[in-house]
Structure 1
Amino acid sequence: MSEMKWQHGSTWYRVVGDLKSSKTPVMILHGGPGAGHNYCEPIAEVLAQTGRAGVLYDQIGCGNSTHLPDKPKEFWTPELFMEELVLLTEHLGISNKYDIVGQSWGGMLGMQFAITKPKGLNAMVIADSPASMEVWVSEANKLRKELPPEVEATLLKHEAAETTEDPEYVAAVDVFYSRHLCRIPQPPYVLASFEQLAADPTVYHTMNGPSEFHVIGSLKHWDIRPQLKEISTPTLLVSGQYDEATPAMVKEIQGLIPGSKWELFAESSHMPHVEEPAKFKRVVSEFLDSHD
């Protein structure tokens, strides 16, 4: 466990496996924004089992990295996190060749980064990610309509009243999450990410909003679909049948990223790496091995 100092503070990271392995190392981009690395630990462990180093890190503003609760909302941009990613690959000495596995917001960041054709980016796995937040919210609203009527009524009531910290709202959100975020009992490493997010939700609330589907933050109008044709990095899309990143959403992205592949996990929602770990290991390792 180490840290990288840069102009905005310290970014905490941990390398699982050997960076000097013959296999291309992987930068693991966590979601949120601001959810921390914890729930992505199984991704790093899976990579290490296949002889590949995985780099877990907490993006600035969350987890073990420097927290910046007083920064204005304009500070929190995808470009900030792209700069951090580049600096960390340089710090680790792998900037000439590395892969990305980006989950949820991490995949959004990965796609926007790949559009810039960064030197050294070899291949990427985009797991459970939208390319447009307006599409994300539209799809979430379809999923919400399938909730018990009293749950949806509770969500709407508190969103209208801006009382989304009310325990009643939180409980209603959990009903949605148990269907579309993680369909198995949440393991300790998933709970750890939620706990640290609740302790300092600065980044999440500023960029996203109070919940996965009530997006009122700075990413509200984020949409990179027109630029996806610029991606030349070999790309694997991963998502779950019950995912917040719905099959319709991911199918559109596959059609926009040239040559991309897509693997749908039939028993998963938003965390196939947690819900179907054996299949996740096989699919991701085969894809990355094919691009070493």
Structure 2
Amino acid sequence: MAAVPVREGKVNFEAPNGGKEGSTWYKVHGSLEDSPSPALVALHGGPGAGHEYLSPLANLYGKYGVPVVFYDQVGCGRSTHYREKMGDESFWTFDLFIQELDNLIDHLKLREKGFFILGQSWGGMLGAVYATRHPKGLKKLIIASSPASVPLYVVGNDQLRSELPQDIREALEGPDHDSPEYEKASAFFYKQHVCRLDPRPEDVQTAFKNLEEDSTAYITMQGPSELVIVGSLKNWEGWKIAHDINVDTLVLNGRYDEMTDVCVEPWFKAIPRVKWVTFENSSHMAHWEQPERFLQVCGGFLSG
């Protein structure tokens, strides 16, 4: 069997009001030129989690012939960092990341053949907003474990917290987010609702390391943790513009996902051409927790 072609590169990206030269790092798994299939561009979560934890998507090339483009969004990984922009909500915007995405797509010349988008968590929010703008070449969209409403995400998380053991719940509801008790309680919640594998795969651990190494975008847009949403996204209601998505869309979440049905269902109600699949044995990382089923669902949708 021939080796799968993999190439890495960087493309210059001048972030609006970034104040310095910047670049986006990317990796292409598979041949963009030789494959009859459009490429899938993978939008990672966080913001700031980096591309590594989405690595199982690379198997779409071997099984379905879909090349996969991974990249680190600015502010994390091997792309340009902007730690000096901590708290700058005018810098960390959807428009910033959409301009970066468009710049990468144009650099790789994906528009003529067309391309797919898969966004996971924050990446799905980004992908959905991108799709409402009807970018040239977009063929299909996958929104994986992403909230259609951040306020409803909070409602769902409140329900998940209410079901936790009392000591865990009390620690999470306490005011000290830096205490050992809070960290222990957060780890318990993450084990239940973010990644249920023990130990966590190395690539998933890398996502957390990326966020520790540079939390600028995450803190500005999300907040100090998955459970405390005080950043610029706190009132975001993506479902209100989702009727403008005009491509076939697949919405995914896990039965134990921190993205509960209550915050995912509005995608299903608002997007005109949509299918919704829930993975019964997964939380937030179905691509790791049920990898074969995940590839089957996504590959079937993209190649159908």
Same-fold call, TM cutoff 0.5? yes
CA distance in 2 between partners of 1:122 and 1:79 (Å): 21
User: What does residue 37 of structure 2 align with?
Assistant: 23
CA distance in 1 between partners of 2:73 and 2:62 (Å): 21
User: What does residue 14 of structure 2 align with?
Assistant: 7
User: What does residue 170 of structure 1 align with?
Assistant: 183
Classify the secondary structure of the residue corresponding to 1:205. helix
User: What does residue 132 of structure 1 align with?
Assistant: 149
Q: Which amino acid aligns with 1:268?
A: S
Contact 2:47 2:218 in 1 (8 A): yes
CA distance in 2 between partners of 1:167 and 1:205 (Å): 20
- Please state how far the C-alpha of 1:244 moved relative to its aligned partner: 1.1
Classify the secondary structure of the residue corresponding to 1:52. coil
CA distance in 1 between partners of 2:265 and 2:232 (Å): 25
- Unmatched tracts of structure 1, length 5 or more: none
Work out which of the residue numbers 39, 51, 63 in structure 2 matches 1:49. 63
Contact 1:16 1:48 in 2 (8 A): no
Q: Which amino acid aligns with 2:222?
A: N
Classify the secondary structure of the residue corresponding to 1:70. helix
Q: Which amino acid aligns with 2:130?
A: F
- After TM superposition, the structure 1 = structure 2 runs for residues 240-279 of structure 1, keeping only pairs within 5 Å, are 240-279=254-293
For the aligned residue pairs, the C-alpha RMSD in angstroms reads 1.2
Work out which of the residue numbers 110, 133, 155 in structure 1 matches 2:172. 155
Classify the secondary structure of the residue corresponding to 1:235. strand
User: What does residue 18 of structure 2 align with?
Assistant: none
Contact 1:16 1:45 in 2 (8 A): no
Classify the secondary structure of the residue corresponding to 2:173. helix
- Please state how far the C-alpha of 1:255 moved relative to its aligned partner: 1.3
- Unmatched tracts of structure 2, length 5 or more: 1-7, 16-21
Work out which of the residue numbers 218, 226, 229 in structure 2 matches 1:215. 229
CA distance in 2 between partners of 1:220 and 1:247 (Å): 18
TM-score normalised per structure 2: 0.91
Classify the secondary structure of the residue corresponding to 1:74. coil
CA distance in 2 between partners of 1:198 and 1:253 (Å): 31
Q: Does 1:84 align with 2:90?
A: no
- Please state how far the C-alpha of 1:48 moved relative to its aligned partner: 4.1
- Could you give the per-residue CA deviations for residues 167-209 of structure 1, whole angstroms, max 9, x where no partner exists? 3322211111111101112100000111121111111111001
Q: Which amino acid aligns with 1:13?
A: Y
Contact 1:27 1:55 in 2 (8 A): yes
The change in CA–CA distance for 1:48 and 1:92 in structure 2 (over 3 A counts) is farther
- Please state how far the C-alpha of 1:5 moved relative to its aligned partner: 0.8
CA distance in 2 between partners of 1:129 and 1:11 (Å): 23
User: What does residue 129 of structure 2 align with?
Assistant: 112
Contact 1:104 1:130 in 2 (8 A): yes
Contact 1:31 1:103 in 2 (8 A): yes
Q: Does 1:75 align with 2:91?
A: yes
CA distance in 2 between partners of 1:138 and 1:108 (Å): 18
Between 1:223-232 and 1:19-28, the stretch displaced more is: 223-232
CA distance in 1 between partners of 2:245 and 2:56 (Å): 27
Classify the secondary structure of the residue corresponding to 1:63. coil
Q: Which amino acid aligns with 2:169?
A: E
CA distance in 2 between partners of 1:62 and 1:22 (Å): 32
CA distance in 1 between partners of 2:144 and 2:103 (Å): 23
- Please state how far the C-alpha of 1:78 moved relative to its aligned partner: 1.0
- Please state how far the C-alpha of 1:106 moved relative to its aligned partner: 0.5
The share of aligned pairs that are identical, in percent, is: 43
Q: How many residues align?
A: 286
Classify the secondary structure of the residue corresponding to 2:160. helix
Q: Which amino acid aligns with 2:110?
A: I
